[in-house]
Structure 1
């Protein structure tokens, strides 16, 4: 909103400094600062409110060191993160930008699902919370909104080089043949470690015949559904010890901000030989607010945690990361960038599958890990949770660097 106000003031009254709001870098910096202030200053107030309302975590005794000391710690702290994301974005981003609109919808949508889950756990005293099928339905619903909008919205395009034939046709039609690029609707995305660095969802089914290319929307929607559900659930599983999901998400958010900036800047996109995505530069402001919210929340969520984000925060964080990556067409980098989430997901899948298999075959269930998700395995081995979190952060930083390196590593 402030973007429009200062643009008007600059135009009408030529106020010194008002033109700064035209720069994405300035608005991103302001979004980070405001997000940090909101989460640190008002976070303490919200924690006091949660304590007064007795919105405490119910902890099951799993035999983990220091676990029962967390009994009664306020949960639903994800509201602090949502506040730190939504307010700076609404103030500093261009809210008529379709990418920003989709990210705001994602934040509120997934935050609402998580809030409902926490509400049932805390106030209805139902430890299971919202039924899993309803969570999946909510995630799939969001994925369909994102996928459908990206496929059909006229402002969601990519810039592609014009072929020599197209240039010749343009010159014959007395059009501007000097332009080397054009904006087109496309199902292209970036793929790592590949020479041309591009993958087209429309060509997935063409192996069965050219007629199957018309089903590109179905293929794209399926990919979006898988990505949104996998990442949001991965973030949810990672939120098991103090600061793990928050810190890891901040690292991922910084990386996504860099990827969004280079993808939305013609100079960097051309230099790196990656897809230029018009209008996507505004996402950097959202990413700044996201990182600021995560770091600010870490002020209270680091060991020993004064508040837990609950599903209100973890589901929202996962949905945001998935939607953001899809919009800047870097979703195929998620297995690398979100490697911590992936490992946590896989550890649960492997543990449950192996237990069921061995129980059926041998009559008793056996385990691969001492406990899943993976961070609990290391807790069972005697590692302090602060050390586990720090090492997971280091792994996250390495994966983030590797993700950025893939822009040139082909």
Structure 2
């Protein structure tokens, strides 16, 4: 709205010219989303408590989690609403990437919301049937991937390799199943990681901050030429989206930090995981997501390894999966696990950014 209404008026009022600068709109989006989160979360938490819409704690999880009984869930819904409002205010809604991101955010959020509602209504940790949830994710991921594939045009199917200059892996039409795997995989990876107060939220903040910076670099011709990376004109607007999400997540973390007043729920985790997978494709840094989102990858691999090992040998590699539960059972305090995983995430973010020069 600010871009579409106020920026055209800059020929009459010079001040409105600032809304043409993507950095100004990104900063504005961050501030608006952060403030909206701080304003909306307290009444949302009170309402969810009144409705007894609290997180169902698994009885087969760590005993320390039993104290979390009664904590409201579905906090991701507030972040999603805040991000949408912020993008309507600050975003360029004629940018196709932004429209795809809005679709991804809402559609994956709906799957998560249905899952959360079923858990609450059944008073069980079992929500949507796993097969139905996965099929729904795959269908939505396919729609998103096809949109990105056709927006890319002639360069569709080309994948950049981190730390390798002037080489792209062209997988042609196979980019479509690859994209579906990436989006679906990270949607579930964030969901698996969302098991400790502030863990997934903090790691997502690092990913959005990193991808926001990369979006600006790839969407800025002079910087892209200097770093010898692809110039992606539409990618720059993704910076505004990343900062809208970043502000919302920081506001969420204010209430989700240990001990949490509210949980993200599948509404948030499935949506946010799908978003980062989508953004990675938009800026053509699919493999780089495996680095900056390395903790999400490790959490997912721990579950896969645990299941395969138990089915084949009857033995468990970890005390409990996902990985953060393993360290809980080893006696690490929840806050220590969260902080150390954040530190690892921050280091991986720096490594990911360094790939722009170390090639």
TM-score (norm 1): 0.85
| 2:335 pairs with 1:357 | no
- Contact kept, 8 Å, 1:190 with 1:275, in 2: the verdict is no
1:35 paired residue among 33, 36, 42? 33
The Cα offsets for residues 129-164 of structure 1, whole Å up to 9 and x where unpaired, read as: 0111122122211221122112223xx45xxxxxxx
2:233 partner SS: coil
Using the TM superposition, give the Cα deviation of residue 9 of structure 1 relative to its aligned residue in structure 2, in angstroms: 2.3
Aligned to 1:117: 115
Deviations 1:108-130 (A, max 9, x none): 01100000000000023343101
* CA spacing shift, 1:256–1:375, aligned 2, 3 Å: same
Q: CA deviation at 1:66?
A: 2.8
Q: Which moved more, 1:184-193 or 1:124-133?
A: 184-193
Match of 1:346 in 2: 301
Unpaired segments of 5 or more residues in structure 1?
A: 158-183, 203-215, 359-364
Q: Are 1:50 and 2:48 counterparts?
A: yes
Classify the secondary structure of the residue corresponding to 2:64: coil
Counterpart of 1:306 in structure 2 is 261
Choose the corresponding residue for 2:318, options 357, 361, 369.
Answer: 369
Q: Quick check: 1:84–1:292 contact (8 Å CA) kept in 2?
A: no
Map 1:9-408 → 2, pairs under 5 A: 9-11=9-11, 14-62=12-60, 64-153=62-151, 156-157=152-153, 184-202=154-172, 216=173, 219-358=174-313, 365-408=314-357
- Structure number having the greater helix percentage: 2
Q: Distance in 2 between matches of 1:114 and 1:318?
A: 11
1:295-334 per-position Cα deviation (integer Å, ceiling 9, x unaligned) = 1100000000000011001001100100011111111112
Cα deviation, 1:195-224, whole Å, max 9, x if unaligned, reads 32422122xxxxxxxxxxxxx2xx011100
Structure 1: 4+ residue segments shifted above 4 A: none
Shift of 1:63: 5.9
CA–CA distance in structure 2, aligned partners of residues 307 and 104 of structure 1: 24
Q: Please give the TM-score of this superposition, normalised by the length of structure 2.
A: 0.97
Structure 2 unaligned segments of length 5 or more: list them. none
Please say which structure displays the higher CA radius of gyration: 1
Report if aligned partners of 1:143, 1:221 keep a CA contact under 8 Å in 2.
no
**Aligned residue pair count:** 359
Counterpart CA distance in 2 for 1:99 and 1:63 is: 39
- On the 8 A contact 1:58/1:71 being kept in 2, the answer is yes
Name the structure 2 match of 1:208.
Answer: none
Give how far 1:62 is off. 3.5
- The answer to whether the 8 Å contact 2:33/2:247 transfers is yes
TM superposition shift of 1:71: 0.5
Contact residue 190 and residue 274 of structure 1 kept, 8 A: no
